[in-house]
Amino acid sequence: MKEGDIVVRKSYNKDIIFKIIEFSKDENNKKIAILKGVAFRVIADAYLDDLEKVEENDIRGVLIDKNVQGLLYRSVVNARERQKKMYRGAPKLQASSNVYGMPGKVLQIDGDKEYLKICLDVYTELGIPAVGVAIPEANQYKEVRALLEKHKPDILVITGHDAITSKKGNLKDVNNYRNSYNFIKAVKEARKWQPDLDSLVIFAGACQSNYEQIIKSGANYASSPGRIMIHALDPVFIVEKIACSRIDMVVPIEEVIEQTITGYKGIGGYETRGKFRWAMPRLI
C-alpha cells in the first residue's frame, strides 16, 4: 500500500471508495492509513490489512458516474428552462435582443484541491462564474474574510472533508467531529463580513457534519441532517439552483434539496432568494 492508492475497506463491505492520502500509527504504534473519500467528502482511517486495492484511478470518473451525469444534464436543462421562463415573464425584455443574464458569482473554499478542481469544471459546464481556493479546513476561518473582500461573491461555499470521530459520543457536541467546528468558525467569520442571509448565500459542511450548529452559525444551507455521507458535488447542485434563480424569487427549499444527490438526509437549510439578474445592453 502506498499514498495515492485507491482502496476499499473490507470490514465495511467495500461500501465506499477511498484514496490513501497518508500513513500514521495508532495508540499501539500499529500502522494505519488515512483515507479520503473519492466520491464522498469524508475522511477515515483503517488498518492496512482491512484495505483492498481497486483498479480505479480516474477520480472524476468515480465522482461523475452515469447517475450524476444525468443529474448534471438535468441541471443544465433546468437552468435553461428557468431562464426562458424568466425571460417570458418580463415583456420589456422580450422586445430587446440586447439582453443577457448574469448568474450569481461563487467563491468556493475547499479543503480538497482535487474536488475543488472538479467542482470548478462543473461550474463552467453550468455557466456559473466561480473562483476557488484550496485551503485546509483548519485554516479556512483565517482567510475567508480576506477572500470575500477580494472576490465579493454572491454565494460562498465552505467545504472539504468531515466525519464523526466518536460513534459513542454526543452528536450535538462539535468536538466529536473532524472539521465541523472549523466550518462553524469560517461561517461566523463570513457573517461578520456580511450578516444578511440573502446578500451572501452560504453553504457549509461535508460528510456527517454537525448540521444544526453550522446552520446556527449563519449558513443558509448545510450538511448533514442525517449525519450521512454527502456527494462531493452536492454543494455545486445547491449553488446552481440559487445562482440561476431570479433575485426577486424565494427559491423553495424542497426544490434546492431535491436537486442534490443525497437529498434531505444530506442537506438542509433556509428559504433563500435567487441570485440571477438580467442586464442590458449586451457586453461587447
**pLDDT, tens only, 115-153:** 898 889 888 888 899 999 999 999 999 999 999 999 999
In terms of pTM, does the model score above 0.85?
A: no
Confidence grade of residue 185 (pLDDT, cut at 50, 70, 90)? very high
Give the three-class secondary structure for 43: strand
What secondary structure letter does DSSP report for 154? S
Instruction: Give percent above pLDDT 70 in the chain.
Output: 83
Residue ranges in the chain assigned as alpha helix (H): 59-63, 66-88, 91-94, 113-126, 140-151, 180-193, 211-216, 234-243, 253-258
pLDDT surpasses 90 at 218:
yes
* Residue 69 confidence (pLDDT): 52
* Residue 79 confidence (pLDDT): 57
* Mean pLDDT lowest among 3-17, 223-237, 262-276: 3-17
* CA dist., res. 216 & res. 187, Å (int): 10
Comparing 186 with 14, the larger pLDDT belongs to 186
What secondary structure letter does DSSP report for 282? P
pLDDT surpasses 60 at 177:
yes
| Residues paired with 18 in a beta bridge | 7, 37
* Residue 12 confidence (pLDDT): 81
* Residue 91 confidence (pLDDT): 47
pLDDT digits (tens, 9 = 90+) for 57-105: 545 555 555 455 555 555 555 555 555 555 444 545 555 567 777 899 9
Please give the angle made by the CA atoms of 134, 268 and 216, to the nearest 5 degrees.
80
* Residue 88 confidence (pLDDT): 45
pLDDT digits (tens, 9 = 90+) for 28-69: 899 999 888 776 777 788 899 999 888 755 455 555 554 555
Comparing 62 with 261, the larger pLDDT belongs to 261
* CA dist., res. 261 & res. 115, Å (int): 16
Phi, psi of 49 (to 5 degrees): -75, -5
Closest CA to 244 of 217, 268, 206, 274: 274
pLDDT surpasses 50 at 249:
yes
Element (H, E) at 24: strand 18-25
Closest CA to 90 of 271, 246, 264: 246
